Amino acid sequence: MTKKFFGTDGIRGTVGKYPITPDVFLKLGWAIGQVFAKEGKGVVLLGKDTRISGYMFESALEAGLSAAGVDTRLLGPMPTPGIAYLTRTLRAKAGIVISASHNPYYDNGIKFFSTEGTKLPDDLEHQIESYLDKPMTTVDSEKLGKAQRLADAAGRYIEFCKASIASGVDFNGLRIVVDCANGATYHIAPHVFTEVGAEVVTIAAEPNGININENCGATQPEQLKAAVIEYRADLGIALDGDGDRLIMVDHKGEVVDGDELIFIIAKARLAADELQGPVIGTLMTNLGMEHALKKLDVKLIRANVGDRYVMELMKKHNSGIGGEGSGHIICLDKTTTGDGIVAALQVLAEVKRSGKTLHALKSEMSKYPQVLLNVRIEKKIDIAKSEVIQTAVKLAEKILADKGRVLLRASGTEPLIRVMVEGVDEAEVTKQANLLVDAVKKAI
């Protein structure tokens, strides 16, 4: 069955445009309550990032859950992985995150975690959607759900993050810059890294409701690069608005992306004889990472793009580390979902253990030139059935032969067609990427 609302990572869109409206979220809260009320008593956790519309949607969801007779625990601003952790440890029926992740403040969305702290299975998402087509009802007054604020949510998650590395690991002597993207980690990440001994310079940690991800964070690390150089830091850490992405910057001001960070963590696990199974990447994972892992006799398996698909293959192959070049990094041997702070701690631990700089660690993997271009679309297009696009793809693949890759896909979170070309010859890669973009524009 095709889902009407849910994409690869919950529901997301522009605030005020269907379905990202208060009335839909009210009905959605009720629908969620109907699904989980069947399973008996229990609470649902509700958290958000720092965008201004979070207050509105939090109230709407809370009202809908109450109407269904479900109790709510309000977490306030909390990173997405923190909500996953608390859902699991508090044995909640579900965790709800109000966030549009790395998107601008005028977008928002909703995603869910199961009682195990993992993304909801498809069947539960289908059940929730089925209730959206039914008339909303309200339980008798004595059965209405109650809402309470969980006062120590941030402290619980801070301790969990610190526990993801061995207690004897100390980061004294490391100076790091932490970019919180004016998002949900603003009151958490600086404490975590300070309490494990690092000297921390914090930037983009003053959210005002509309500056989340604005010229900062994992998707725009220019401010972080400048700060690392200015403060002569050993490295920089950039999180996104909801804290599930990580991009780092080395002491030279060079970006270290998700593929490079996954390689560093995997190699460290291998050296410590703690690497579980293969490494799971995606169709977008750089070919250089695959070749570097192969030299270590470590297998890379590619999933479809999206952290839920990475997670599926990680569970299938009993993998401990996986993720995406965008910075979604899942340390399944430490937690149940992508977590920027936890992943950063694993990298810092290897910097400290090895005595090498982050620049030296990332240099042990050579990336192939990769060009990623986006084409905005007004309506969906079937890439596989477009003769213009498929002819251009076949020609590009013929020219690149076995020295490159081509991938076109529709974004699961934005109205975009993503065009990726990768190969050893950067000029040829750029040329073919632009030709493919022209073909997509012609098709639409």
Per-residue pLDDT of the chain in tens (444 residues, 90 and over written 9): 567 778 767 899 999 999 999 999 999 999 999 998 876 668 999 999 999 999 999 999 999 999 999 999 999 999 999 999 999 999 999 999 999 999 999 999 999 999 999 988 888 888 999 999 899 999 999 999 999 999 999 999 999 999 999 988 999 999 999 999 999 999 999 999 999 999 999 999 999 999 999 999 999 999 999 999 999 999 999 999 999 999 999 999 999 999 999 999 999 999 999 999 999 999 989 989 998 999 999 999 999 988 889 999 999 999 999 999 999 999 999 999 999 999 999 999 999 999 999 999 999 999 999 999 999 998 888 899 999 999 999 999 999 987 888 999 888 767 899 999 999 899 999 999 999 999 999 988
Catalytic, out of 101, 114, 326, 386? 101
What pTM was computed for the model?
0.91
Distance CA 10, CA 100 (A): 9
Do 272 and 218 share a domain, yes or no?
A: no
Per-residue pLDDT, 411: 82
- Per the annotation, the verdict on 101 as an active-site residue is yes
Residue 158 DSSP class: H
Hey, what are 394's tokens? 């076949």
Which of 367, 382, 407 marks a domain boundary? Answer: 367
Do 124 and 27 share a domain, yes or no?
A: yes
List Cβ neighbours of 45 (8 Å cut-off, separation of 6 or more): 72, 73, 75, 83, 86, 87, 90, 92, 94, 95, 96, 150
> At which residue do the structure tokens 């941030």 appear?
154
Provide the residue range defining the domain that includes 47. 11-151
Residue 101, phi-psi category: left (phi > 0), alpha (psi -120 to 50), beta (remainder): left
Distance CA 275, CA 296 (A): 12
Determine, yes or no, domain membership for 266. yes
CATH at residue 296: 3.40.120.10
Which of 334, 367, 400 marks a domain boundary? Answer: 367
Number of domain units in the chain: 4
CATH at residue 392: 3.30.310.50
Distance CA 284, CA 305 (A): 7
φ, ψ for residue 327 (rounded to 5)? 110, 0
Per-residue pLDDT, 119: 87
Do 15 and 143 share a domain, yes or no?
A: yes
Per-residue pLDDT, 40: 64
List Cβ neighbours of 355 (8 Å cut-off, separation of 6 or more): none
Whether the bond into 104 is cis, omega within 30 of 0: no
